[in-house]
């Protein structure tokens, strides 16, 4: 049963296609997006064992160009973009002056004078305004979301399927690197990145031929058992892979150190927004730490449920739900750092009843190949 779109929701170029495929649609941050087609569990399983195709065109893109492009990128992000080679990408954080997250994002280096940022759908405009306000460099930022469609092909068979549609050799594109080339005749930026914990690609291209490319990819992936996948599976996959979601594990109150994202935070790279606050917190120590947990009985911890450590309320579940491939129920939460050891037993209040859980190391799932 299809759900209607309200006039105010943004739509990607593939909206009619998703509806035609029978997708259950959902309002995701103001975007009319597919939640699921054949079912979240089936789609999750497809990505873990074969391949899945996602329309992620709602994601934002910000182009940064000019002689001072690197300076601007360095100033507004916490990772060290100076380490990037042309054709390389890095996961990073857009920082407030207090070292907390305005957004998380991918930074791609296209040339010494051109960087492409991929940001969260709901934060595009705020991120752009933030970057423009911080721009005192010889660089220009462009809010380019409308110029890009984006598809993600994820799973162990993703490469094999995508290779059928492009003469660009995909094997040599290493993880977190990208190349330019034609996919089914459409010019694309082909990046070996993803939000599922599997191997796969995210391709960026101009919206005009979105439907042609989507159909070609689905057809190319049919014999391999690739399924179209919605935001429901996108969320279960990233949670199972221990990946953060803005607005849940990270937001304007959390720093990279607290979120276990110290590996993308490089105060040694030089000055940037939030640098001093981050240095201070590194020295003083964090007051809370992001942990992963698994439920010990069959109950499911949901976003926002209270977490108890040693009988005292320690925080709330930031993301919680089933891990379909691991066949257990998991979640993430912030707890005091000295209560954060793997193996420690905690309790989640599930609608007023105490449910036992155990802290386990992140990521929950790591791909075997």
Partner 1 sequence: MYPTDYRYTKDHEWIKAEGGIGTIGITDYAQQELGDVVFVELPRVGAHLKAGASLGTVESVKAVSEIFSPVSGEVTETNATLADAPETINKDPHRAAWFVKVRLANPAEANGLMDAAAYQAYIAGKAKEHSA
- Positions that interact with partner 1 (CB under 8 A): 1-4, 24, 35-36, 39-42, 232, 235-236, 298-300, 302, 321-322, 324, 351
Nearer to partner 1, 22 or 169 (CB): 22
Nearer to partner 1, 235 or 255 (CB): 235
Residue 207's contacts (CB-CB under 8 Å, 6 or more residues apart) are 12, 13, 57, 146, 147, 148, 149
169 alpha-carbon distance from chain centroid: 25
CB 108 within 8 A of CB 148: no
CB 363 within 8 A of CB 197: yes
Nearer to partner 1, 155 or 324 (CB): 324
CB 279 within 8 A of CB 262: no
Nearer to partner 1, 27 or 160 (CB): 27
Cis, bond preceding 363 (omega within 30 deg of 0):
yes
Quick check: helix, strand or coil at residue 369?
coil
Nearer to partner 1, 127 or 240 (CB): 240
Cα separation, 45 vs 30, in Å, equals: 28
Cα separation, 117 vs 92, in Å, equals: 10
C-alpha neighbours within 13 Å on the C-beta side of residue 323 = 25
Cα separation, 43 vs 356, in Å, equals: 29
Say which residue the tokens 């449910």 belong to: 355
- State in angstroms the smallest separation of the CB of 96 from partner 1: 30
- State in angstroms the smallest separation of the CB of 40 from partner 1: 4
- State in angstroms the smallest separation of the CB of 48 from partner 1: 15
- State in angstroms the smallest separation of the CB of 4 from partner 1: 5
Nearer to partner 1, 195 or 305 (CB): 305
- State in angstroms the smallest separation of the CB of 198 from partner 1: 18
- State in angstroms the smallest separation of the CB of 322 from partner 1: 5
């Amino acid at each position: 049963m299809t759900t209607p779109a309200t006039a105010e929701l943004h739509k990607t170029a593939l909206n009619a296609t998703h509806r035609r495929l029978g997708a259950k649609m959902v309002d995701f941050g103001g975007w009319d997006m597919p939640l699921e087609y054949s079912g979240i569990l089936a789609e999750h399983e497809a990505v873990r064992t074969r391949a899945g195709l996602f329309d992620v065109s709602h994601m934002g893109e910000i182009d940064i160009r000019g002689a001072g492009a690197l300076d601007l990128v360095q100033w507004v992000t916490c990772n060290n973009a100076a380490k990037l080679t042309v054709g390389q990408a890095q996961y990073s954080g857009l920082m407030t002056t207090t070292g907390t997250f305005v957004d998380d994002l991918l930074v791609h280096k296209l040339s010494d004078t051109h960087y492409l940022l991929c940001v969260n759908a709901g934060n595009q405009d705020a991120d752009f305004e933030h970057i423009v306000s911080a721009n005192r460099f010889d660089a220009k930022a462009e809010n380019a979301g409308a110029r890009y469609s984006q598809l993600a092909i994820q799973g162990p068979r993703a490469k094999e399927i995508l290779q059928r549609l492009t003469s660009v050799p995909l094997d040599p594109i290493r993880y977190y690197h990208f190349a330019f080339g034609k996919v089914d005749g459409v010019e694309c930026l082909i990046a070996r990145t993803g939000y599922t914990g599997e191997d796969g690609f995210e391709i960026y291209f101009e919206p005009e031929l979105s439907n042609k490319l989507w159909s070609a990819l689905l057809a190319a992936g049919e014999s391999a058992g690739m399924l179209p996948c919605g935001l429901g599976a996108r969320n279960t996959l990233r949670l199972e892979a221990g990946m953060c979601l803005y607005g849940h594990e990270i937001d304007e109150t959390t720093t990279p150190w607290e979120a276990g994202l110290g590996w993308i935070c490089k105060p040694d790279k030089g000055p940037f927004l939030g640098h001093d606050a981050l240095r201070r917190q590194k020295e003083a120590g964090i007051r809370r730490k992001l942990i992963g947990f698994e439920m010990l009985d069959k109950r499911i911890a949901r976003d926002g449920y209270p977490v108890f450590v040693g009988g005292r309320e320690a925080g709330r579940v930031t993301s919680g739900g089933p891990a379909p491939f691991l066949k257990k129920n998991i979640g993430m939460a912030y707890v005091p750092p000295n209560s954060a050891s793997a193996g420690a037993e905690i309790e989640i209040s599930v609608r007023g009843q105490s449910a036992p859980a155990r802290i386990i190391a992140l990521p929950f799932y790591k791909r075997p190949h």
